[in-house]
Chains A and B, each alone.
Chain A
């Protein structure tokens, strides 16, 4: 149990376009989901906390107008990278907490974004 999926698993886009990444909790409800970014050979960096039915909370230095987060249901959060540029190329990972199971966060498989 406690599976988190992401779609797409990889995406290539042209500079200036917007890309939407979906994060779904498949067998549990998640009022809170998290979005991370990971550059090659580096650790995960928390970008924002996505709250169902309310605005996301962004970490310091993360542009909220650049990375739009929507958490419209208890099983789906989306991250839209607007006007993507090559420096936005990264591995984007989401996680969700199943509050019924306590402390554990469950991570998605990640989405590889390459902006040309």
Chain B
């Protein structure tokens, strides 16, 4: 399974943008990049996903490097409710749709 590498933790000030990086140097051409976040004692919540092009939705933006070996989740204005563990996951096409979670990045938002 293609692996992802994320920083263990990051801090951001409230109402400032946050850029959460993810390295996935062994990504294959058919791997989708997914981002989920998890608050304590809850199930993960979908944030965004993409394949090659940058993606935007109401929660965040996903910037994918041209060689696809890295990606960045962008929260445009961090709020206290964005404090969570953020997971970057690669999902291989045509292999059963399984998600293999890495260690994730614990985001702290400072008021």
Contacts and interface: CB of A to CB of B under 8 A. Distances in A.
Contacts of A107: 36, 43-46
A25 B44 CA distance: 15
Interface residues of B, dominant DSSP? loop
B42 A104 contact: no
Interface in A2-17: 4, 6
B41 A104 contact: no
Contact of A57 (B36, B96, B101): B96
A28 interface: no
Interface residues of A, dominant DSSP? strand
B99 A105 contact: yes
B41 A45 contact: no
Interface in A32-51: 32, 34, 36, 43-46, 49
Nearest to A93: B43
Interface in A60-100: 91, 93, 95, 97
A97 B46 CA distance: 12
A47 to B, nearest CB: 11
B101 A112 contact: no
A110 B40 CA distance: 11
Contacts of A97: 97
Interface in B15-54: 32, 34, 36, 38, 41-46, 49
13 contacts: A4-B43, A34-B99, A36-B101, A43-B102, A46-B100, A49-B96, A49-B97, A93-B44, A95-B44, A95-B99, A105-B99, A106-B46, A110-B41
Interface of A: 4, 6, 32, 34, 36, 43-46, 49, 57, 91, 93, 95, 97, 103-110, 112
Interface of B: 32, 34, 36, 38, 41-46, 49, 87, 91, 96-104
Given A32-B96, A43-B87, A95-B43, 9 more contacts: A46-B99, A46-B101, A49-B96, A49-B98, A103-B34, A104-B34, A105-B46, A105-B99, A110-B42
